[in-house]
């Protein structure tokens, strides 16, 4: 026995104290949010804002160069989602643009009749057939546009659902250590939050872009038919309007960036004020006032930003109209000159006015939508690149399936370092676990117990130098998913699945609908979940989530029992219990360990218990003591007590604590 403090009978000095890192005294005033200056400055470099405002910074040339590639990419997505609908969108859109051009030509014919010689009633009567043709073309265009909308409505949700399902499928399967990588998380969040959101919109925007472009081309064609000299005139009229539209669109994007950044910050506060998870702590800390104050401050800034945007938009629109007006004035002057010179009949001149106006509105739309498409396509590209990256981070799908039962698992000189860390979490671990054995991993916080358990389960892979073998076969040669299906993991903070009590068990076998009733009851009995479920209205069918109407809430300890039941229900050849009982009351904890350690349901199961309460592991066949990523002691409880090392010190410390409390109580 090592030195003890005689006064209390409690040993001191045996358990190494945690290392202390120097931390300076914090400032008396908590650093505020970005109160002064531009509130968005702190967010400008936020990982999710990387493409915000890109359209306002790109030159017109850059936008134009990139657009065809974007359209091709979206076209490919649409093509793979629904070929018929994609073809329909393209064909109907082209036909609709043709109807616009024909309608314009027919309008010119109407004007020609109206401006012809003769009494007015005769001219009007003569114009009626042409007028009916105009109505016919416009009606056809309306029908075709409706067709485009229907085809678009068919293809857009398919693209969205396809991308979303693929995104979740890929991210939910990436290797576990990838999920620990903060950069990957940032990218995943961005792809989910932005990429998927804009992918939903971009098809419609590309269709609008095509419609505006075709409209512009159509009106140019009409003008060329009326008189070739009208084409340069068109340029004269659209260039100033285009320049004004570019300026307005950019200003809008700049403003959107600022406004959007503010909105996101506000959402953080709204979420904290609303969320159930934060509710109890918020009230006990009486923190609502402080959060509300911050929320109010930000929303006031948003209101100011809204007003600023409104005013500046009005100014810019006015400036844009002035520039466009000059262009239109010059156009009309040139048109007048052509009429006076007799280059053009009066009816064609009036038709040209109609065509120029149509072209100007098509161009304004084109500029607007090009900016949107340019920026949103970056997010879609980002999403697609992220998905590609996830494909490279998937676990092995090839290799032999893991065996149904396992006779022996060996760890041979296994080391593991988490991504982004310098020091290994495990350093040269070797052990052999046999079927039917129940072992425990103990040791101070951060000593590597959980990491080792996860390597055993094939959730992490050992570095090159070492190997984890199941019955002599390196797990790196096995299909990863089949390996995970052979391991039940019960963790300290189990997932609280918002499903029925029964589905909370069956999910460990990969199903929410099919249950083995007998197995479920046995698992619930052994884990102590039986009483929990029996006490719920609806018992097995009770919905375990307060987020849904009629849902039930469980305490942390009750959830722990459900989690243990889930692990037992899986009935896998390997059972890992990583401190699952920390939130249980002592009686429940004792019952769980008794059930697991004396379990006779599966005599070939390898059971690994991780626990800080050493009384729970006394009955294990072997105990491994971890320290700094290495195993420092191994043996049965008695052997380790006789060794009088680290384990004996920790055990005596805990036991003395209980004895002291019992003494005080007596």
Ligand X SMILES: Nc1ncnc2c1ncn2[C@@H]1O[C@H](COP(=O)(O)OP(=O)(O)OP(=O)(O)O)[C@@H](O)[C@H]1O
Residues that bind ligand X (CB under 6 A): 180, 418, 421, 425, 443, 445-451, 626
- Rank residues 470 and 624 by Cβ distance to ligand X and give the closer one: 624
SS3 626: strand
Radius of gyration of the chain (CA): 36
- Rank residues 374 and 460 by Cβ distance to ligand X and give the closer one: 460
- Rank residues 443 and 494 by Cβ distance to ligand X and give the closer one: 443
**CA 174 to the chain's CA centroid:** 14
- Rank residues 296 and 421 by Cβ distance to ligand X and give the closer one: 421
* C-alpha to C-alpha distance for 594 and 589, rounded to whole angstroms: 9
- Rank residues 373 and 456 by Cβ distance to ligand X and give the closer one: 456
- Rank residues 178 and 373 by Cβ distance to ligand X and give the closer one: 178
DSSP state at residue 16:
P
* C-alpha to C-alpha distance for 447 and 133, rounded to whole angstroms: 84
- Rank residues 152 and 450 by Cβ distance to ligand X and give the closer one: 450
Question: Whole-number minimum distance, CB 481 to ligand X, in Å?
Answer: 21
The first and second tokens of residue 416, run together, are 């593991």
Residue 529, C-beta contacts closer than 8 angstroms, at least 6 positions apart: 501, 523, 558, 561, 562, 564, 565
CA-based nearest residue to 432, from 456, 409, 402, 450: 409
- Rank residues 628 and 635 by Cβ distance to ligand X and give the closer one: 628
Question: Whole-number minimum distance, CB 447 to ligand X, in Å?
Answer: 4
Question: Whole-number minimum distance, CB 547 to ligand X, in Å?
Answer: 27
Tokens 């209390």 correspond to 8
CA-based nearest residue to 432, from 471, 464, 479: 471
For residue 607, list its beta bridge partners. Answer: 438, 575
Question: Whole-number minimum distance, CB 630 to ligand X, in Å?
Answer: 11
* C-alpha to C-alpha distance for 79 and 158, rounded to whole angstroms: 11
- Rank residues 164 and 180 by Cβ distance to ligand X and give the closer one: 180
Q: Strand 622-627 vs strand 630-635: parallel, antiparallel, or unpaired?
A: antiparallel
Distances (CA, A) of 7 to 4, 10, 11, 14, 439: 9, 8, 10, 17, 36
Question: Whole-number minimum distance, CB 612 to ligand X, in Å?
Answer: 7
Question: Whole-number minimum distance, CB 508 to ligand X, in Å?
Answer: 22
Question: Whole-number minimum distance, CB 393 to ligand X, in Å?
Answer: 16
- Rank residues 137 and 441 by Cβ distance to ligand X and give the closer one: 441
- Rank residues 382 and 633 by Cβ distance to ligand X and give the closer one: 633
* C-alpha to C-alpha distance for 171 and 165, rounded to whole angstroms: 10
Question: Whole-number minimum distance, CB 175 to ligand X, in Å?
Answer: 12
For residue 635, list its beta bridge partners. Answer: 623
The first and second tokens of residue 513, run together, are 């609908």
Residue 232, C-beta contacts closer than 8 angstroms, at least 6 positions apart: none
- Rank residues 11 and 448 by Cβ distance to ligand X and give the closer one: 448
| HEC-encoded secondary structure of 183-196 | HHHHHHHHHHHHHH
Question: Whole-number minimum distance, CB 203 to ligand X, in Å?
Answer: 39
Question: Whole-number minimum distance, CB 625 to ligand X, in Å?
Answer: 11
Work out the angle at residue 470's Cα, subtended by the Cα atoms of residues 637 and 389, and round it to the nearest 5 degrees: 115
Question: Whole-number minimum distance, CB 76 to ligand X, in Å?
Answer: 37
Question: Whole-number minimum distance, CB 646 to ligand X, in Å?
Answer: 13
Question: Whole-number minimum distance, CB 492 to ligand X, in Å?
Answer: 7
* C-alpha to C-alpha distance for 558 and 565, rounded to whole angstroms: 11
The count of other CB atoms within 10 Å of the CB of residue 312 is 15
For residue 468, list its beta bridge partners. Answer: 411
- Rank residues 419 and 550 by Cβ distance to ligand X and give the closer one: 419
- Rank residues 73 and 185 by Cβ distance to ligand X and give the closer one: 185
* C-alpha to C-alpha distance for 580 and 492, rounded to whole angstroms: 4
Question: Whole-number minimum distance, CB 628 to ligand X, in Å?
Answer: 9
Residue 28, C-beta contacts closer than 8 angstroms, at least 6 positions apart: none
Distances (CA, A) of 79 to 145, 153, 154, 157: 20, 14, 12, 13
* C-alpha to C-alpha distance for 78 and 87, rounded to whole angstroms: 9
Residue 9, C-beta contacts closer than 8 angstroms, at least 6 positions apart: 656, 659, 660
């Amino acid at each position: 026995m090592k030195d003890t403090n005689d006064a209390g009978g409690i040993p001191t000095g045996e358990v190494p104290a945690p290392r202390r890192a120097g931390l300076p005294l914090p400032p008396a005033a908590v650093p505020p949010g970005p109160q002064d200056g531009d509130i968005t400055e702190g967010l400008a470099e936020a990982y999710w804002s990387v493409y915000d405002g890109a359209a306002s910074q790109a030159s017109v040339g850059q936008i134009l160069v990139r657009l065809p590639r974007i359209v091709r990419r979206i076209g490919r997505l649409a093509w793979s989602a629904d070929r018929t609908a994609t073809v329909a969108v393209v064909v109907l859109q082209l036909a609709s643009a043709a109807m616009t051009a024909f309608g314009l030509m027919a309008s010119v014919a109407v004007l020609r009749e109206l401006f012809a010689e003769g009494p007015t009633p005769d001219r009007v009567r003569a114009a009626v057939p042409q007028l009916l043709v105009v109505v016919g073309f416009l009606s056809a265009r309306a029908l075709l546009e409706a067709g485009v909308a229907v085809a678009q409505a068919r293809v857009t949700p398919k693209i969205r659902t396809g991308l979303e399902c693929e995104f979740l499928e890929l991210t939910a399967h990436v290797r576990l250590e990838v999920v620990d990588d903060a950069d990957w998380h940032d990218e995943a969040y961005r792809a989910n939050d932005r990429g998927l959101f804009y992918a939903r919109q971009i098809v419609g925007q590309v269709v609008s872009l095509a419609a505006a472009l075709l409209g512009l081309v159509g009106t140019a064609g009409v003008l060329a038919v009326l008189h070739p000299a009208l084409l340069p005139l068109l340029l004269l009229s659209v260039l100033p309007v285009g320049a004004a539209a570019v300026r307005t669109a950019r200003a809008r994007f700049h403003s959107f960036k600022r406004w959007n950044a503010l909105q996101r910050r506000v959402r953080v506060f709204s979420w904290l004020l609303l969320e159930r998870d934060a509710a109890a702590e918020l009230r006990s800390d009486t923190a609502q006032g402080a959060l509300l104050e911050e929320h109010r401050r930000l929303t006031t800034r948003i209101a100011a930003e809204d007003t600023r945007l409104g005013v500046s938009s009005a100014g810019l629109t006015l400036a844009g109209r002035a520039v466009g007006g000059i262009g239109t004035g010059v156009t009309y002057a040139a048109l007048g000159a052509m009429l006076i010179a007799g280059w053009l009949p009066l009816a064609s001149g009036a038709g040209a006015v109609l065509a120029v106006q149509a072209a100007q509105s098509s161009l304004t739309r084109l500029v607007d939508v090009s900016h949107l498409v340019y920026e949103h396509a970056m997010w879609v590209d980002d999403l697609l690149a992220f998905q590609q990256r996830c494909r490279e981070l998937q676990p092995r799908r090839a290799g032999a399936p893991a065996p149904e039962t396992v006779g022996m698992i060996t760890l041979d000189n296994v080391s593991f370092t988490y991504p982004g860390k310098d020091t290994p979490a495990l350093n040269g671990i070797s052990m052999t676990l046999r079927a039917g054995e129940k072992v425990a991993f103990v040791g101070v916080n951060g000593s590597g117990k959980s990491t080792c358990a996860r390597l055993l389960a094939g959730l992490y892979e050992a570095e090159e130098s070492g190997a984890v073998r199941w019955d002599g076969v390196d797990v790196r040669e096995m299909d990863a998913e089949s390996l995970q299906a052979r391991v039940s993991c019960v963790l300290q903070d189990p997932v609280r699945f918002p499903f029925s009590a029964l589905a909370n068990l069956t999910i460990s076998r990969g199903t929410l609908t099919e249950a083995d009733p007998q197995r479920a009851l046995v698992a619930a009995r052994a884990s102590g979940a039986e009483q929990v479920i029996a006490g719920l209205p609806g018992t097995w069918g009770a919905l375990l989530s307060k987020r849904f109407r009629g849902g039930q809430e469980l305490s942390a300890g009750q959830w722990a029992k459900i989690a243990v039941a889930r692990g037992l229900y899986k009935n896998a050849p390997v059972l890992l219990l990583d401190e699952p009982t920390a939130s249980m009351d002592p009686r429940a904890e004792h019952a769980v360990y008794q059930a697991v350690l004396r379990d006779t349901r599966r005599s070939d199961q390898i059971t690994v218990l991780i626990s800080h309460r050493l009384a729970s592991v006394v009955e294990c066949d072997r105990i491994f003591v971890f320290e700094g990523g290495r195993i420092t002691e191994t043996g049965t409880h008695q052997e380790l007590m006789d060794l009088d090392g680290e384990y004996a010190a920790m055990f005596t410390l805990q036991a003395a604590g209980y004895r002291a409390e019992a003494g005080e109580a007596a």
